[in-house]
Amino acid sequence: MSGWDWDECHQRALALQCSYLEGACLADWVLQSLSKGMLQDYAATAVLFHAAADDRAIVELMARQREPCNVGMQRRYDPNVLEAKLGYKFGAYALSTKAQLMPNIAVYCRTPLYVGGVSVDVHVINSVPYNFDDPSEPDYQHFFPMDDDKWAALVLRMKRVWSTIFQCARHLGGLVSRFLGGYP
């Protein structure tokens, strides 16, 4: 991982920082660590998980083109700033259609976490489930109105989400779940 351009990583993080709305931004230590290239060992632990049948180019697009913060279709960032800084307004998942959802991915890494001013290493997997908080969400549009076939498809997709999480656990040799659904 010595080939990482830490200045570019820092610049991309600053671009993201500019797009966040108040109360939903990166911690200062993240920006400082990136500017000094201090996250190289952590970056080397990153693993992208997805279903074997998924198109790799689309999976990579999903990993690269992420929304800084979107909960229940409430975007806590300015899409115009994101577009000006990084070239896109919305995450690749927004390319989902009523007929076809983008692939579900998960990303694992070991990362520092500051607790009471002390850095501890934690293992994190970011796995986003299917969301039905708002009728404008791609998942809601795809699965509703619900029928037996759509229910079976949703159950299969949720099994894949959990399978991905357990695949990550096998990769690590164990799993302790602290947060599910974004809530403690």
Q: Is residue 94 part of a domain?
A: yes
The confidence band for 101, taking pLDDT boundaries of 50, 70 and 90, is very high
Q: Is residue 33 part of a domain?
A: yes
Buried b (16+ CB within 10 A) or exposed e, 13-50: bebbbbbbeeeebeeeebbebbeeeebeeebeeeeebb
**Would residue 182 count as lying in a domain?**
no
Question: Which residue in 157, 53, 176 sits closest to 101, CA to CA?
Answer: 157
- pTM given for the model: 0.82
Query: Residue 1 falls within a domain, yes or no?
Result: no
In a domain, 177, yes or no: no
pLDDT at 184: 42
Residues in contact with 176: Cβ distance below 8 Å, sequence separation at least 6, in sequence order: none
Residue 183 clears pLDDT 70, i.e. is over it: no
pLDDT in tens, 9-60: 888 888 888 888 887 778 888 888 888 888 889 989 999 998 888 999 999 9
Strand 106-115 and strand 47-49: pairing? Answer: antiparallel
User: Does a structural domain hold residue 85?
Assistant: yes
- For residue 181, being part of any structural domain is answered with no
Range of the structural domain that residue 73 is part of: 6-172
